[in-house]
């Protein structure tokens, strides 16, 4: 699910991949529901490719989002990340991901993480379970 959700450097919010052209992508804003083009020269990141640094390595973003959903009972985060100080942000992430690397994960990263989580929940895209392709039912052999 997160592979089709994209972040574009310099543009606020998150976007869902709708279609692809020759030199561009057609995206739909999760908040405004407007379609916009994204070109190859823009820095585009798929949320499925992002991970958070921990003391032991990296944890995929989907795992962190699942932990946030459990902590918040499927609702948006209870405080405004833009008004929170660095200590409050670090405490929140520590409650969700206790072993995050405090030297490599910055307050701005945590703000972005919380903002993304809130956008996903508000837009109804909060199913953070990885869906496996369903296997085709086995055909019964005729006798």
For the segment 67-120, what is each residue's pLDDT rounded down to a tens digit?
999 998 889 898 888 899 999 999 999 999 999 999 999 999 999 999 999 999
Q: How many CB atoms lie within 10 A of CB 30?
A: 19
26-30, 42-46, 68-72, 127-131, range with the lowest pLDDT:
127-131
Say whether pTM exceeds 0.85.
no
- The strand ranges marked E within the chain are 5-8, 15-20, 24-29, 35-39, 44-46, 51-53, 58-60
The Cα 4–Cα 104 span in angstroms is 26
Residue 20's Cβ-side half-sphere holds a number of Cα atoms within 13 Å equal to 3
Given the candidates 3.10.20.600, 1.10.10.1650, 3.40.50.1110, 3.20.20.70, the CATH classification of the domain at 50-122 is 1.10.10.1650
Q: Are strands 51-53 and 44-46 parallel, antiparallel or unpaired?
A: unpaired
């Amino acid at each position: 699910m997160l592979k089709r959700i994209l972040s574009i450097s310099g543009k606020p919010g998150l976007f869902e991949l709708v279609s692809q052209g020759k030199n561009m992508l057609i995206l739909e804003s999760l908040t405004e529901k407007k379609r916009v083009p994204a070109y190859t020269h823009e820095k585009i990141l798929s949320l499925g490719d992002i991970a958070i640094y921990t003391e032991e390595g990296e944890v995929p973003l989907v795992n962190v989002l699942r932990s946030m959903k459990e902590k918040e009972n499927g609702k948006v985060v209870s405080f405004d990340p833009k008004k929170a100080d660095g200590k409050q942000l670090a405490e929140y992430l520590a409650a969700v991901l206790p072993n995050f690397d405090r030297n490599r994960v910055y307050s701005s990263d945590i703000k972005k993480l919380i903002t993304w989580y809130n956008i996903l929940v508000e837009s109804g895209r909060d199913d953070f379970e990885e869906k496996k392709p369903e296997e085709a039912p086995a055909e019964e052999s005729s006798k």
